[in-house]
Amino acid sequence: MPNSYFSNPLMFLIETLFQLYMYIVAVRLLLPLIRTPFTHPLIQTIIRITEPLCAPLRSFMPRSRKFDSAVFLLLVLVTLVKLTLLLSLAGAWPAISGLVLLTAAELFSLFISLFTVTIIIEVLLSWLAPQGYNPVASLIQAINAPLLEPVRRRMPLLGGIDLSPLVVILGLQVLSMLVMPLLLGPVYPQY
């Protein structure tokens, strides 16, 4: 049996599990920037999931009101471990500078996809449950507010339809198309 028989499913599992945890840590990193109380049940769950790995890092990392450097370091370390595992299973290993650029690209892509997905979920929830309280909806709205509110203030409603989510998603995709080749170019010249 070829080596990829077991390595492909293993790579899929590593990619999926690490990506889910990275999303959780990324949301934890955004918590000081959003206006949702830390008593929110989903925020409490996020803190419980991430705190066992953040606590040791916090002992030597500075923390400010708006930025938790221990959470950022955890996100970088988890990304490095994920990339190291995937690259070793693929039989490839870039230079240290390549690994740094891959990590930066992975983190940038993580936040682009996080905001894109949460904006889509916010739109879907506004259609499905427009008036009812939903704890998931309130957290997602708080995450997206820094991106959506400036666009909403400048853009009029067209026939009662808010097109700001579409504008922000298009902007995120264009930003990704501009930045990702700069990050991945030295690592993967064919892009």
- Measure the CA dihedral 172/176/177/183, to 10°: 160
pLDDT at 130 > cutoff 70:
no
pLDDT at 2 > cutoff 50:
no
Rounded to whole angstroms, the Cα distance separating 71 from 79 reads 12
pLDDT of residue 187: 53
- Taking a C-beta distance cutoff of 8 angstroms, is the pair 185, 97 a contact? no
Residue linked to tokens 């939903």: 134
Instruction: Classify residue 91 as exposed, middle or buried by CB count within 10 Å of its CB (0-12, 13-18, 19+).
Output: exposed
pLDDT of residue 16: 94
Across 118-141, average pLDDT = 83
pLDDT of residue 3: 61
Indicate the domain borders of the chain. Answer: 1-93, 95-191
pLDDT of residue 188: 54
Across 117-135, average pLDDT = 83
pLDDT at 61 > cutoff 90:
no
Residues 6+ apart with CB under 8 A from 85: 14, 18
Residue 118 or 130, more confident? 118
The mean pLDDT of the chain is: 86
pLDDT of residue 52: 94
Query: Could you tell me the pLDDT band of residue 41, with boundaries at 50, 70 and 90?
Result: confident
112-123 pLDDT, tens digit each = 999 999 999 999
pLDDT at 189 > cutoff 60:
no
65-109 pLDDT, tens digit each = 778 899 999 999 999 999 999 988 888 777 787 888 899 999 999
pLDDT at 64 > cutoff 80:
no
pLDDT of residue 186: 56
pLDDT of residue 93: 76
